[in-house]
Amino acid sequence: MLGELNIIPFLDITVNLMLFLLATTAVTLTTVEVQARLPELHPGGGYGAPPTRLSVTLTEHGVILGTGAGFVRPGCEDTGAGGTIAVPARNGALDGEGLRHCAARLHSALPEVNDVVLTADPAIPYADLIHAMDALRADGETPLFPTVLISGGVR
């Protein structure tokens, strides 16, 4: 008669490994939902002209605004070539009211535009980024640019 096979140590190791794997999987498994929109295909077979989109860049000197026609000049009344500070910073902080006023002007000039791409220099405080998002979304009860898309940093 041969000796018995003791499977108790094997079962101990197997149970411990299963618990370890389940605990590790529960910690590392996270679900992230990313909203993405694909370009719409037009009947002619192409994707059509890209929509006009407003781009806003927050820097330590102020806000640079750009449209398909060019960059917005100081005072938010005209566009032209070259990136200029449309809304200068006030005491080193974002001028939220100036940005809201400029966004309202741009919204009246570009009523079909709903999206704005917001980019910020890494040195910009998080609170200024949130204030800029609020200023771009609405002027009181009047919606301006409801969809604010965040882009990578400037540097």
Is the residue at 77 inside a domain?
yes
Is the residue at 22 inside a domain?
no
Is the residue at 29 inside a domain?
no
pLDDT at residue 153 in the model: 65
Is the residue at 74 inside a domain?
yes
Is the residue at 76 inside a domain?
yes
Query: Strand runs (DSSP E) across the chain, as ranges?
Result: 54-59, 62-67, 70-72, 79-80, 87-88, 115-120, 138-139, 142-143, 147-150
Low-confidence ranges of the chain (pLDDT < 50): none
Phi, psi of 33 (to 5 degrees): -110, 120
Number of domains making up the chain: 1
pLDDT at residue 143 in the model: 85
* Residue 106: domain span: 54-150
